[in-house]
Chains A and B, each alone.
Chain A
Amino acid sequence: MKTKLSFRRKAVNAVMLSITGIFTMLAVGLLFFILGYLFVQGGFSLNWNFFTKLPAPVGESGGGMANALLGSAKVLLLATCIGVPIGFLAGIYLAEYAPPAFASTVRFVTDLLNGVPSIVVGIFAYAIIVQGIRVGFSTLAGGVALGVMMIPIALRSTEEFLMAVPGSLREGAMALGATKSRTIATVVVPAAIRGLISGMMLNLARVAGETAPLLFTALGNQFWSPGWRQPTATLPAMIYEYAKAPYEDWHRQAWAAGFVLLTLVLLVNITARSIVARGFAHKSR
């Protein structure tokens, strides 16, 4: 009886533990499957035209997505110019100045803002830019939508990395007579710079793949989009449009675009994470 019970417990132990292992393998395997599939489908669909040509008119094959690449770059540039400074400065306030109660309020609201679905942020950008200041569907509206999405993560990562800077550095600078702002600008921020840069890179990579808020802010465009007040094509929105379309050649283009987008996003992710890993391992087990 005793050995039987013990056997049953051992069996449950072995079975359950292997199941958890299998689940983990499946999750990791899925990543490699997605990567591999995109690599094969997209890699073969990719050619030089993709980077240099405008989309071909409906019914013609060939063409590329040069305008979408430029459009995405412009939207992301604008988003970075909006989201990073606000988030970064607010993060400094939270880490260096804020009284605890106010800091935790801002932190909580920031987390909520971070949880707002991207499509709702799109409606917001539509309301204030497209309709509110009557710019219409434009690069500007798309940039604002993604910029709003960048603020919460910019703030939280800035705060996290500044908090990790030892207090003795601040005390040292202040003992030498530096004002608080000078201490932050010349001692604290440089000490955390690796973390800050990698945080911003991860942030950018996250919004780079956002599609939903762009559908009705940047809208889309088959041609080049000069300036900031015209509708513009963006890479993720093009993937969506081309994947939905009933044409074989457009599917091929969608795979190629997906390949380019995923490669960029993952490269930025891996680079950013390795920058932090080389800097300081504050998240050790």
Chain B
Amino acid sequence: MATATFPRARPARRASVFRRMFSADSLARAGVFLCATAILALTALLLWELWRNSALARARFGFNFLTSSNWDPVAGDFGALPYIFGTVVTSAVGLALAIPFGVGAAIFLAELAPAKLSDAMTFLIELLAAVPSVIFGLIGIFVLVPLLNRVVPGLKEAFGFLPIFSGPFYGVSLLSAGVVLSVMVAPYIISVSREVLLAVPRDMREAALALGATRWETTWHVVVPYARRGIMGSVFLALARALGETMAVTMVVGNTPQIAKSLLAPGYSIAAVIANEFAEATTDLHRSSLTELGLVLFGLTIVLNAAARLLILATGKRAGQ
């Protein structure tokens, strides 16, 4: 083949430095590099804007902002505690309901269901995750709240002695928000946990079954512990989402800034107060305080997300070994 006569290629010209620097190839490379760097810059800018725009509130209230429970836009006094409380409580209720539910369903989908059924159901559950939050809020207001109004009297009769089920119930409450959140985050727990459970090596299951364990014992004592870090990761992701969830919460939580010991009392949340007051905030201090709430939320979710990624990564590595 070496002797075959091809038409002679054009003699290679030594590209000038100029041409090499601005060739289409290196321009393309520089362009995509810029876009990747832009994401780092954008995230930094986001943090910087939150920091800069909350300077006024941070200077005025300092650390008291997080511990004071007075929120009075007219007097210009802002404390975030009731909102932080509401965010934490609604998310905790949401997770308490979603974790058994989500992990249970993930176990079924990963361990028991035939592959085809499992895939079909996972598809449907992932569609549930795609439902916009404002729709959950709509269902919350017009379906869940009336439903809870009927269920709660019975609940109070049975558990009324507990402080968390005391006091009057008007339908909108921390509990209602928690229930809506649980439905919204469960699909995340289910789909991530299922992936993690599927990544557990087959030998682990076979070994346990060979030792005479039942299907459930194999799952609960061998497979789940093996995947527990990944499952924890899915829970953290769900928690981060629950903390930042705005629309569905604000529609059913009652929007009352108070720290009540009962779950049946109305409350408020960080995201909800930002949504309700930001557009109407007239003073710089008010807007600055709302931005600081945003910063608190940002910090919380960043920490949770980072922890979740690391945990899921850790399980993945272990399964890969």
Interface string of A70-100 (1 = CB under 8 A from B): 0000000000000001110110111011100
- Is the pair B40, A20 in contact by a Cβ cutoff of 8 Å? no
Contact of A117 among B52, B217, B271 (CB under 8 A): B271
- Is the pair B128, A31 in contact by a Cβ cutoff of 8 Å? yes
- Is the pair A117, B220 in contact by a Cβ cutoff of 8 Å? no
- Is the pair B39, A211 in contact by a Cβ cutoff of 8 Å? no
- Is the pair A26, B101 in contact by a Cβ cutoff of 8 Å? yes
Interface string of B96-139 (1 = CB under 8 A from A): 00001100110111001101001101011101101111110111
* B123 CB, nearest partner CB in chain A, Å: 7
- Is the pair A13, B216 in contact by a Cβ cutoff of 8 Å? yes
- Is the pair B36, A212 in contact by a Cβ cutoff of 8 Å? no
Answer whether A93 and B124 are a contact pair too, CB < 8 Å, given A123-B294, A240-B251, A258-B138: no
Please tell me the size bucket of the interface on A: 35 or more
- Is the pair A89, B243 in contact by a Cβ cutoff of 8 Å? no
Residues of B close to A111: CB separation below 8 A: 305, 309
- Is the pair A31, B127 in contact by a Cβ cutoff of 8 Å? yes
Answer whether A117 and B187 are a contact pair too, CB < 8 Å, given A20-B112, A126-B278: no
Residues of B close to A16: CB separation below 8 A: 216, 220
CA distance A199 to B216 in the complex (A): 37
- Is the pair A251, B142 in contact by a Cβ cutoff of 8 Å? yes
Residues of B close to A255: CB separation below 8 A: 138, 142
Contact of B115 among A10, A126, A243, A285 (CB under 8 A): A285
* B193 CB, nearest partner CB in chain A, Å: 12
- Is the pair B121, A24 in contact by a Cβ cutoff of 8 Å? yes
Interface string of A254-285 (1 = CB under 8 A from B): 11001001100110011001000000000001
- Is the pair A119, B302 in contact by a Cβ cutoff of 8 Å? no
Interface centre among B25, B36, B198 (most CB of A within 10 A): B36
A112 within 8 A of B: yes
A115 within 8 A of B: yes
Residues of B within 8 A of A (CB): 23-25, 27-29, 31-33, 35-36, 38-40, 42-43, 45-46, 49-50, 52-53, 100-101, 104-105, 107-109, 112-113, 115, 118-119, 121, 123-125, 127-128, 130-135, 137-139, 141-143, 183, 186-187, 190, 198, 214-217, 220, 237, 240-241, 243-247, 251, 271, 274-275, 278-279, 290-291, 294, 297-298, 301-302, 304-306, 309
Give the 9 A-B residue pairs with the shortest CB-CB distance, closest first: A209-B132, A117-B244, A181-B28, A115-B305, A93-B32, A20-B108, A212-B246, A89-B35, A23-B104
Residues of A within 8 A of B (CB): 9-10, 12-13, 16-17, 19-21, 23-24, 26-28, 30-31, 34, 37-38, 41, 85-87, 89-90, 92-94, 96-98, 102, 105-106, 108-113, 115-124, 126-128, 137, 148, 151-152, 155, 179-182, 184-185, 202, 205-206, 208-212, 215-216, 219, 236, 239-240, 243-244, 251, 254-255, 258, 261-262, 265-266, 269-270, 273, 285
The contact sample of 5 A-B pairs, CB cut-off 8 A, is A12-B216, A23-B100, A31-B124, A115-B301, A215-B278
